[in-house]
Amino acid sequence: MDRPICFIDLETTGVHIEQDRIVEISVLKLNKDWKGKVVKTMLINPGIPIPKAASDIHGITDEMVKDKPTFVQISKSLLSLIGNCDIAGYHSNRFDIPFLDTNFHRVGLIWDWKGVNL
User: Do the beta carbons of residue 85 and residue 5 sit within 8 Å?
Assistant: yes
| Structure confidence at residue 118 as a pLDDT band (50, 70, 90) | low
Look at residue 28 and tell me whether its pLDDT is greater than 90: yes
Q: What is the DSSP string of 57-96?
A: HH---HHHHTTSPBHHHHHHHHHHHHTTSEEE-TTIIIII
Element (H, E) at 52: helix 52-58
- Alpha carbon distance 42, 116 (integer Å): 23
Backbone angles phi, psi at 51, to 5 degrees: -60, 145
| Structure confidence at residue 7 as a pLDDT band (50, 70, 90) | very high
pLDDT digits (tens, 9 = 90+) for 103-114: 999 999 998 877
- Alpha carbon distance 56, 109 (integer Å): 31
What pLDDT is attached to residue 54?
97
pLDDT digits (tens, 9 = 90+) for 50-104: 999 999 999 999 999 999 999 999 999 999 999 889 998 888 888 999 999 999 9
- Of the candidates 78, 77, 80, 62, the one whose C-alpha atom is nearest the C-alpha of residue 25 is 78
| Structure confidence at residue 117 as a pLDDT band (50, 70, 90) | low
Tell me the pairing of strands 5-12 and 22-30.
antiparallel
What is the pTM (predicted TM-score) of this model? 0.90
